[in-house]
Amino acid sequence: MPMINIQHAVHATHRAAALPISVFCGLLALMPTAVAQDELPEWLRARPGVGLVNRRDCQAMADLVRPVVSATGESIVQVICDGRAVALGTIVGADGYILTKRSELTGDPIRVRLADDQLLSARVAAVRRANDLALLHVDAAQDFRPVSFTSDSPAIGSFLISPGRDARSIDIGVVSSPARAIQHEGRLGVYLENDSDGRARVERVMPSSGAEVAGVVRDDRILAINGQSESSKNSVMRTLHAMFPGESVRLTIERSGATLELDARIREFGLMQESENDSKVNGPRNSRLSGFDLVLQHDTVLEPDECGGPILDSSGRVVGLNIARAGRVVSYALPASLVTSEMVGMLSEARAAAR
């Protein structure tokens, strides 16, 4: 099917009004949910099925943009990890390679659900920790339909469309700011001092931190991380700073003369500082929200398990990959230029290993 520009679709649907999409969305947002039929404009009365709701991603808008996203429907999968849907995946290789969000893959088995509801086993073929990407591979006797990324970057204020698997759900947002790096904010959640022997001693444990959940307490001495001996506070801090949010670390602890092994998770520093009310306002988010080389920020309201799928511009071109829901109306997407660069290396690495 040829690409359909969303603005052209609006004009075709409401030719009498000749409204651009920005005005159309604004009208839908501003109009009350219940309006007397005779108070409606003639063009809207003549359009059955247009819901008067104060959301730009209402069913009427979803129906309007569906032709734009139809070409990607067979290229999006649902990623299931340990029996739970954790992310979307984007097919990038006709031989069964799929990009998704790495930090959500926290258990086995990994499976993917295709657009036709087929459920297939998958394995991790390559990872890029720096941008939270994992390349999955599915062994199946069939051809897959990969997406094609564009080299263009959407301007601030542009509409972006986030389709779900088989385009069943469609979320619409707007580019909020220029592409930028997001500083790494992962923390274990401990304050350290050197003891009399120069070893890292825990002075304080942050509430709601990975360290607290793991059982780390004051006066514990950190002897090793992931089996590597640590000689001091600075050594421990350097090692932990290389860990991204969502990653697990094994701590070797000395406590009251005994040696313990504890498993802890690195968490986002901002999440540990939030009040209960802040958490309720922002809603559920991904375990990793920071440490990306470059992101497009947009205001689409995504669920955490809707990340990993492609994001499209109003002409249906794939301009990036959704990577994190960071706040109530803050979502991040890796731009296509970055995704393509990472993808080429990952595919080369995975295919070479499979030979």
**Per-residue pLDDT tens for 281-334?**
888 899 999 999 999 999 998 999 999 999 999 999 999 999 999 988 899 999
pTM for this prediction: 0.80
Closest CA to 60 of 74, 48, 78, 43: 48
Work out the average pLDDT over 264-273.
Answer: 92
The tokens for 248 are 């697990």
Q: How many CB atoms lie within 10 A of CB 284?
A: 9
Beta bridge partners of 202: 192
pLDDT given for residue 292 in this prediction = 96
Query: How many Å apart are CA 22 and CA 20, to the nearest integer?
Result: 6
Query: How many Å apart are CA 115 and CA 128, to the nearest integer?
Result: 26
Percentage of residues in the chain with pLDDT exceeding 70?
83
Residue 84, CA distances (Å) to 81, 107, 108, 147, 156 in order? 5, 10, 10, 25, 35
pLDDT given for residue 58 in this prediction = 72
pLDDT given for residue 68 in this prediction = 84
pLDDT given for residue 42 in this prediction = 52
Strands (E), 292-348: 292-298, 310-312, 318-327, 330-335
Q: Per-residue pLDDT tens for 169-204?
A: 788 999 999 999 999 899 999 999 999 999 999 999
Residue of 23 and 56 predicted with greater confidence:
56
pLDDT given for residue 170 in this prediction = 80
Work out the average pLDDT over 265-269.
Answer: 94
Q: Please, are residues 98 and 135 in contact by the beta-carbon 8 Å criterion?
A: yes
Work out the average pLDDT over 259-277.
Answer: 92
Q: Per-residue pLDDT tens for 115-134?
A: 999 999 999 999 999 999 99
Work out the average pLDDT over 137-143.
Answer: 89
Whether 224 has a pLDDT exceeding 90, the answer reads yes
Closest CA to 298 of 154, 163, 183: 154
Query: How many Å apart are CA 215 and CA 205, to the nearest integer?
Result: 10
Q: Please, are residues 134 and 244 in contact by the beta-carbon 8 Å criterion?
A: no
pLDDT given for residue 188 in this prediction = 97
Query: What Rg value do the Cα atoms of the chain yield, rounded?
Result: 24
Query: How many Å apart are CA 8 and CA 16, to the nearest integer?
Result: 13
The tokens for 59 are 């069913």
